[in-house]
């Protein structure tokens, strides 16, 4: 069993599902690419876990993204997970105000957005579905629970745990339609509530699911490995630079001598000198990147 993994089980008689996520090296990789106070690092770990948990319901080639925007010390937090288990995340925050703040004060007047993006097919554009709700609750678990209540209208229970370099979570969700076992959901919720924070971190997913639901009729799916993944490439950056136009690029060259581009997710840096810029401006474009949210674009310096 890989340390970074997702495991899901279908509890058929109660018409519900449960998903467990463990992050170890993925969380460490994300933390290594930025400098975060403890409270922000914890929220970032929780966001990564939530993105992975929600990806378990994605039945196509694409990705699911979680985005938190607020007007206080925390400006933006993003985490996304592909259908193949590739995770990444970033945070933008006011370093002078974020220290010691709890979840509620960091996310005041905030908005939570969940985006499901189906990859581009041979003929056509990517398909995107988006749910947006006010960011409410005293914790990430409460905020995500509010999202499912408002947007998905599916009864959902969620527990998250982050400690040091580890992050984990478990999601229990009732599925649409009637259940064969009328009392099944209530029983599953009671079992779910017995899960302890340390148990989440210290127990692999299959063992935890067995402990919780060994008396239930269940269908266990194969474990899915999770890993850090950022799709930025030099070719993708070239497409972004072409979009800036010749005047903007020449202005940057005039003041800085070169164009530097960095990816905020993985901190990969791309440098373009005058010759590089001349080549990309005067060579035919081989294609363009898919349209994304502006927060998902490399930063040009």
Kindly state whether residues 286 and 183 are assigned to the same domain: no
Q: How many angstroms from the chain centroid is the CA of residue 161? A: 16
Q: Which of 228, 243, 272 is the last residue of a domain?
A: 228
Overall number of domains in the chain: 2
Kindly state whether residues 280 and 223 are assigned to the same domain: no
Supply the pTM of this predicted model: 0.84
**CA dist., res. 167 & res. 161, Å (int):** 6
Kindly state whether residues 58 and 131 are assigned to the same domain: yes
Per-residue pLDDT at 292: 47
Per-residue pLDDT at 248: 87
Domain CATH code at residue 247:
3.90.1280.10
Range of the domain at 268: 234-300
Domain CATH code at residue 68:
3.55.30.10
Per-residue pLDDT at 281: 82
Kindly state whether residues 260 and 283 are assigned to the same domain: yes
Q: Which of 228, 259, 288 is the last residue of a domain?
A: 228
Per-residue pLDDT at 289: 42
The DSSP-derived string for 174-217 is EPSS--SSTTHHHHHHHHHTT--HHHHHHS-HHHHHHHHHTTS-
Per-residue pLDDT at 121: 59
Per-residue pLDDT at 287: 47
Integer CA distances (angstroms), 11 to 26, 38, 65, 106, in order = 29, 36, 26, 36
Q: Which of 210, 228, 246 is the last residue of a domain?
A: 228
Q: What is the mean pLDDT of each run of 10 residues along the chain (301 residues)?
A: 85 95 95 90 96 84 90 90 93 86 88 86 70 91 89 89 94 92 94 94 92 92 92 82 85 86 81 86 60 54 53
Kindly state whether residues 239 and 201 are assigned to the same domain: no
For residue 89, give every residue at least 6 positions away whose Cβ sits within 8 Å of its Cβ, in sequence order, or none.
30, 44, 47, 48, 51, 77, 78, 79, 80, 265
Kindly state whether residues 145 and 291 are assigned to the same domain: no
């Amino acid at each position: 069993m890989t340390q970074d993994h997702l495991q899901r089980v279908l509890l058929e008689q109660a018409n519900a599902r449960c998903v467990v996520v463990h992050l170890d090296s993925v969380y460490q990789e994300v933390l290594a690419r930025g400098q975060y106070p403890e409270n922000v690092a914890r929220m970032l770990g929780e966001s990564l876990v939530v993105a992975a948990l929600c990806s378990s319901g994605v039945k196509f080639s694409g990705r699911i993204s979680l985005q938190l925007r607020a007007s206080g010390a925390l400006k933006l937090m993003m985490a996304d997970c592909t259908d193949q288990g590739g995770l990444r995340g970033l945070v933008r925050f006011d370093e002078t105000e974020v220290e010691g703040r709890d979840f509620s004060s960091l996310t005041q007047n905030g908005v939570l957005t969940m985006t499901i993006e189906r990859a581009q097919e041979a003929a056509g554009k990517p398909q995107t579905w988006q749910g947006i709700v006010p960011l409410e609750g005293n914790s990430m678990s409460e905020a995500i629970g509010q999202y499912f209540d408002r947007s998905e209208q599916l009864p959902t229970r969620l527990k998250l745990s982050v400690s040091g370099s580890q992050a984990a979570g478990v999601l229990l969700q009732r599925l649409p339609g009637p259940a064969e076992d009328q009392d099944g959901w209530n029983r599953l919720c009671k079992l779910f509530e017995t899960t302890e924070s340390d148990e989440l971190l210290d127990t692999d997913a299959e063992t935890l699911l067995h402990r919780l639901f060994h008396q239930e009729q269940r269908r266990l799916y194969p474990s899915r490995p999770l890993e850090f993944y950022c799709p930025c490439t030099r070719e993708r950056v070239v497409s972004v630079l072409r979009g800036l136009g010749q005047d903007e690029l020449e202005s940057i060259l005039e003041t800085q001598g070169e164009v530097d581009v960095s990816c905020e997710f993985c901190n990969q840096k791309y440098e373009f000198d005058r010759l590089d810029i001349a080549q990309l401006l005067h060579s035919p474009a081989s294609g363009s990147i898919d349209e994304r949210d502006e927060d998902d674009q490399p930063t040009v310096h």
